[in-house]
A = this chain, B = another copy of it.
């Protein structure tokens, strides 16, 4: 598709669709909108449009089609794969002003929200009604719920509670033809035709602009207790996870791991003093329930199992202060690494649980082989490892070569072990070049057909998700 530059008359039409103050073309004011939280190169839009409704978004889409200008939807720009960077210029449609929780419907165990609401605010609004939206991406203070839906965001609680898409019950979205679709609603189950919610979840703005979401809500157990277990090897942590689930029949809310390098960085930068700083790997497990004594008993059982597997005595964090200390460190790890190193590439591979230890061993080997810090951490329960590749090489060319080599070896290994290239960050622009290795021609053809069916002119978020032919 050959796109055209955005004309001055088109900008005037945009100002007619939205109020002029919500149409921004001054490059100085666009700087913050040219990047996300990935290490993908920045790229400014020709115009930023802050829409207030599905109707406005639909009118902008129609204009983009008529003018043959690309359109990139954007939440709050916290993505880690470049998905919201307007790599081909054109119009950037921000939903940041659509920031209202429309209705917490406690009588139906549902919440209806605009897409620009921060995830943490959505959780708080639900909590006021005694209900729980449990999906918990590490960026929850900064990210938008619409972006969460567009990327099918995960987070620390995904093993027990699932990911964003598992809670979506209704969606309103603007499609590339300018139509507004509404599917589902306050319905716990619904098989009326093809599931358009599932189609849009995780489509990263390439199939539609999400303008309203209805989520189901669940009860939040009264007590959460965290157990921090120091191990010599990640394999022990994986085995602990399996024993807790299969033998103890517990459903942990969280099974995370972090390694010595990550612990050291947190302690140094945050000025914290995380326990077990000398342990090769720390495993963080959260158990929960309504009866505090029962949860404590479960934690004791967990601790005993951990020690049978060779752990030193675990730390139990059963009060808010201790828990906050552990969680702040864990949630801040990616940010912390960014403070230490000028550039960090955050990989997001996923493997079957049983392949986690070998994958982490591979990462250790890559660190040695290439002589750069590579910090693995993540979600044991989900088999999802974040591999943060930290830049210590000043020469641009050499850095790019080393970085590519690390990613290539990692990706080859993961794919050979039945894994995939992204578990929760998405493909965006960052992982597009890996898609032909990750998927076969038949699978890619289906995806291209889907894109073609919904956006034949390729207006919506071009240069994302699907690789070039």
Chain A residues packing against B (C-beta within 8 Å): 105-110, 129-131, 151-152, 154, 158-159, 162-163, 165-166, 175, 179-196, 198-199, 201-203, 207, 218-222, 242, 245-251, 290-291, 294, 298, 350-354, 379, 381-384, 418-427, 431, 435, 438-440, 442-447, 449-454, 465-466
Contacts and interface: CB of A to CB of B under 8 A. Distances in A.
A191 B196 contact: no
B187 A383 contact: yes
Given A194-B450, A352-B185, A442 B246 contact: no
B382 A189 contact: yes
A185 B190 CA distance: 25
A439 B193 contact: yes
Contact of A382 (B188, B242, B251): B188
Given A159-B188, A193-B465, A352-B187, A449 B454 contact: yes
Contacts of A291: 294
B106 A246 contact: yes
A125 B451 CA distance: 39
A196 to B, nearest CB: 6
A354 B188 CA distance: 12
Copies of the chain in the assembly: 2
A180 B105 CA distance: 43
A38 B82 CA distance: 49
Given A220-B249, A449-B453, A427 B384 contact: no
Contact of A425 (B191, B438, B440): B191
Given A220-B249, A245-B219, A192 B109 contact: no
Contacts of A246: 106, 109, 129-131, 219
Given A246-B131, A419-B187, A443-B182, A353 B109 contact: yes
Contacts of A447: 193-194, 196
Contacts of A198: 165, 195, 198-199, 201
16 contacts: A108-B352, A110-B352, A130-B249, A175-B446, A186-B383, A187-B419, A188-B382, A188-B383, A188-B384, A189-B383, A191-B202, A191-B426, A193-B443, A194-B450, A222-B249, A449-B453
B450 A130 contact: no
B442 A199 contact: no
B438 A107 contact: no
A162 B198 CA distance: 15
Nearest to A154: B189
Contacts of A424: 189, 191
A161 to B, nearest CB: 11
A66 to B, nearest CB: 19
B249 A192 contact: no
A98 to B, nearest CB: 20
Closest 5 CB pairs of A and B: A453-B453, A198-B198, A186-B352, A179-B442, A189-B423
B191 A427 contact: yes
A131 B247 CA distance: 9
Which of A187, A193, A449, A452 counts the most B-chain CB atoms under 10 A from its CB? Answer: A193
A156 to B, nearest CB: 12
Contact of A420 (B175, B190, B247, B379): B190
Contact of A107 (B106, B185, B218, B353): B353
